[in-house]
Chain A
Amino acid sequence: MTLAGYRRDADTHPPLDSPEYRSTRLRHPTQPLTLLPHRLTEVTGPLLGPGRVGPLDHDLTRQHDGEPVGQRIIVHGRVLDGDGRPIPDSLIEIWQANAGGRYRHTGDRWPSPLDPNFDGVGRTLTDAEGRYEFVTIKPGAYPWRNHDNAWRPAHIHFSLFGRSFTQRLVTQMYFPDDPLFGQDPIFNAVPERARFRLVSRFDLDRTRPEWALAFEFDIVLRGRDATPLEDGHG
């Protein structure tokens, strides 16, 4: 068996030193990164299977006795690799604020109430075609102290494993036409031509009449290189 590495994706990710996002100041390396050619450790990855996902983990509106406050939404899409191949049976983790923009986290002290019926944490596995679906409520925007009158646009945090260590990705999904995009240094740290890839699409076809709106968010993890690993399978 010959294993191939993964194509590099320069000009996609935000630079680690992004001064407008103040927390990067003391949290970016100052030495250049060392190029790591892909070997066996980089092209393999954990199998985190169904044992990690409970039957209601994908439905954040049904994890308590009552229903959470807020606009019900379906968030769905596909997880693909850079060659358009679906990534099946792969763990997706999400976390988010409630409808008022408050996280169920001891560090979140902004004066918007917690919702006793909402934890804001979900998990699922992609199906055989790489598809996933969550049911949740639309998160609210929330203030933070990065700059004067700073607000995060509404977003859902996404964590993906793909098939290999190299494909691991943590990102955030946004909603179309958010008026807060212009002043958000986290969103704007992404190179301009790549930013739209973080914005979900309103999906009328997948709304549930008299029940929930729907948004589509496809996620693309890195694709395979055409050339085999430099030291083969070994």
Chain B
Amino acid sequence: MAELPTTPSQTVGPYLHIGLSWDDGPYVVPEGTPGAVWLCGRVLDGAGEVVTDALVESWQADPDGRFDQLGWRGFGRSDTRDGGYAIHTVVPGAVAGQAPHLDVSVFARGLLHRLVTRIYFPEHERSEDPVLRSVPPERRDTLVATRTGDGYAFDVRIQGERETVFFDV
């Protein structure tokens, strides 16, 4: 088959909220799900300012490490209009030799293409994870969430000090 060239990416712009926000966006799992946690954080620019016109999306396996179970949504989406994002989910299981993780896309005004990162969890063994091992050791902890009262926190630092590791997917 002939190869077709990909359509280029463009920024979501400042008015993303009207097009991409869903009432149930943050709910990877419904309220009341056993073991559910809130995964929350901010998106910060190179001046350390909070970005309020960003959208954070997550994709993850279920607690058994599977993506294909009937009824498993696996997807979360939250804009940052209130200063941060919040995703209601459960901690995934290990997937194919990798430590439990979420794949994350960040869109924003000023981002001409999404940024891709991963979120890992502090309680899991991560030393054999092939993706983390491909990251310089001193930067690996930018990919690990921290524990909070009702779940986890993970800030995305787009630029500058302790810049989050982003992936070329």
Contact = CB atoms under 8 A, between A and B. Distances in A.
Task: Tell me if chain B binds chain A.
Answer: yes
Interface of A: 7-9, 12-16, 18, 21, 23-31, 33-36, 38-42, 44-46, 48, 52, 80-85, 93-95, 103-105, 107-108, 119-121, 157, 159, 165-166, 168-172, 186-187, 189-191, 194-195, 197-198, 219-223, 231, 233-234
Given A170-B107, A187-B10, A221-B6, 12 more contacts: A8-B168, A13-B112, A14-B112, A27-B51, A33-B168, A46-B75, A82-B4, A107-B14, A170-B11, A197-B8, A220-B4, A231-B130
Contacts of A103: 15, 18
Contact of B163 (A18, A31, A83): A31
Interface stretch (B31-39, B82-90, B97-105, B144-152): B97-105
B3 A159 contact: no
Interface of B: 1-20, 22, 45-47, 49, 51, 53, 57, 59-61, 67-68, 73-75, 95-98, 101, 103, 105, 107-116, 130-131, 134-135, 139, 158-160, 163-169
A171 B4 contact: no
Given A29-B115, A36-B167, A24 B110 contact: yes
Contacts of A52: 22
Contact of A41 (B68, B101, B112, B139): B101
A171 B8 contact: yes
Q: Is the interface of B mostly helix, strand, loop or mixed?
A: loop
A233 to B, nearest CB: 7
A25 B46 contact: yes
Query: Which 8 pairs show the lowest CB-CB distances between chains A and B?
Result: A95-B19, A234-B96, A23-B110, A46-B75, A27-B110, A26-B46, A36-B167, A33-B168
Contacts of A222: 6
B8 A198 contact: yes
B169 A231 contact: no
Given A16-B112, A28-B159, A36-B167, A190 B8 contact: yes
A42 B103 contact: yes
Nearest to A52: B22
A36 B131 contact: yes
A40 B67 CA distance: 9
A121 B21 CA distance: 11
Contacts of A165: 59, 103, 105, 169
A186 B13 CA distance: 10
A190 B45 CA distance: 23
A194 B14 CA distance: 24
A30 B67 contact: no
Contacts of B116: 36
A27 B158 contact: yes
B17 A105 contact: yes
Nearest to B167: A36
27 contacts: A12-B9, A13-B9, A14-B113, A16-B113, A16-B115, A26-B158, A29-B115, A29-B159, A30-B46, A30-B159, A31-B139, A34-B165, A40-B96, A41-B61, A41-B98, A95-B16, A103-B18, A105-B15, A107-B15, A159-B12, A159-B19, A170-B10, A170-B12, A170-B107, A186-B10, A197-B5, A234-B97
